[in-house]
Amino acid sequence: MKDILTGIFCIVFSLFVFVTASTFPQSPKIYNSPAVYPQSLIILLIFLALTLIVSGILQIRKKPPHVQKPTNLSKPLWIFATLVGYLFLLSNVNFVIATFVFLIVIYRLLGGTWIAGAVFSVLLTVGEFIVFGFVLKVPLP
């Protein structure tokens, strides 16, 4: 089933890219046309996606998909949401506050306690600020 879904996604993606590339300026010279190369790739991708769909259907016919153990998706999704929140905080408040809040929440999500998380967050935020900002001279948000 996964293969069929992947194949369908690739075809939808390909159609979108193909249509977008069709709006690029055309040239009679193949090497001058910005659309030819991406469109050639897309044709190849559609062919591969169709192959994947067919092989997925054949696999299901041969062997019906077994019921998979449900996985815990909520944790990775929460972590991703926290990362998005971190991006929002970084662009609206300063680096130190944003990083402290982000680390404490992430640490908790990864199974740590609030107190240990707070200590860890303070140490890492200050450490990052000094090491990256001053020692390595990496620009901080």
Residue 126 within binding range of another protein, rule CB under 8 A = no
Residues 9-68 that bind another protein (CB under 8 A): 10, 13, 17, 20-21, 24-25, 27, 29-32, 34-35, 37-38, 41-42, 44-45, 48-49, 51-52, 55
Q: For residue 98, count other CB atoms closer than 10 A to its CB.
A: 20
Asked whether the beta carbons of 27 and 72 are under 8 A apart, the reply is no
Shortest spacing between CB 64 and another protein, in angstroms = 18
Torsions phi, psi of 108, nearest 5? -65, -45
Asked whether the beta carbons of 49 and 7 are under 8 A apart, the reply is yes
Shortest spacing between CB 41 and another protein, in angstroms = 5
What whole-number distance in Å separates Cα of residue 25 and Cα of residue 35?
8
Select the residue interacting with another protein from 6, 59, 101, 118 (CB under 8 A). Answer: 6
Rounded to the nearest angstrom, the gap between the alpha carbon of residue 109 and the centroid of all alpha carbons in its chain is 19
What whole-number distance in Å separates Cα of residue 63 and Cα of residue 94?
55
Count of residues in contact with another protein, rule CB under 8 A: 61
Q: For residue 106, count other CB atoms closer than 10 A to its CB.
A: 18
Which tokens is 107 given? 């640490």
**Choice between 41 and 57, CB closer to another protein:** 41
**Binding-site ranges for another protein (CB under 8 A):** 2-3, 5-6, 10, 13, 17, 20-21, 24-25, 27, 29-32, 34-35, 37-38, 41-42, 44-45, 48-49, 51-52, 55, 71-73, 75-76, 79-80, 83-84, 86-87, 90-91, 99, 102-103, 106-107, 110-112, 120, 124, 128, 132, 135-141
